[in-house]
Amino acid sequence: MFKFAKLVEYQNKRSFIMNNDTNTAGLKKLAFTNGLIGIIGPILSFFIRIIGLAMVSSKLAKTGHTLTQQEIFSAQLPVYLISAIPGLIVLILGIVALVKFRKAENNTVSLAAHILLIVGGALSIVVGIFGEIPEFIGGILYLTSLKKFDQPQFPNQNIQQ
């Protein structure tokens, strides 16, 4: 019976620690990071794809003949792999943020921002530009939710010292 009481006490302390104000600072940093990466990642990936197009064009100009599919694929593969890295990072950050915010029961960032980052990251890896648009919108939603972290969680919450 004594061990059970200790376990309940530990769980209560743990849930209090998870929901206090010190955890919101870490969540705010995570939201800021997700916002920046959600905006910078698609832009970076887009420029990498433009560089890849320039590489294929320059290879075409150097050879002077029509390239085969294998030559185009061999020129584009490294560019595709490098441009998939920002999408993978955004996908991982979206999943981590969804888990952290739901575990802390913090609703300052809307569920749509998490979902847009996850779906955008997955689509960016597979189809490119169509995934970068949801990533960008998700990053904007994260950055616009930063001002909610400074407001009280409950409407009637007055902090008196």
Does 41 map to a domain? yes
How many residues appear in the chain?
161
Q: At 55, is the secondary structure helix, strand, or coil?
A: helix
CB atoms within 10 A of CB 53: 12
Is residue 160 included in any domain, yes or no?
no
Quick check: is 42 in a domain? Answer: yes
**Rounded-to-integer distance, Cα 161 and Cα 153, Å:** 18
Residue 66's pLDDT is 80
pLDDT in tens, 6-21: 555 555 555 444 444 5
| pLDDT score, position 12 | 52
Q: Let me know if residue 45 belongs to a domain.
A: yes
Q: Is residue 20 part of a domain?
A: no
Does the pLDDT at position 83 exceed 80?
yes
Residue 139 belongs to what domain range? 28-149
- Exposure letters 97-124 (e unless 16+ CB within 10 A, then b): bbebbeebebebbbeebbebbbbbbbbb
- Is the confidence at residue 4, as pLDDT, over 70? no
Q: Is residue 125 part of a domain?
A: yes
Whether 6 is covered by a domain: the verdict is no
pTM comes to 0.74
Is residue 53 over pLDDT 90?
A: no
Q: Tell me whether residue 95 is in a domain.
A: yes
Number of folded domains in the chain?
1
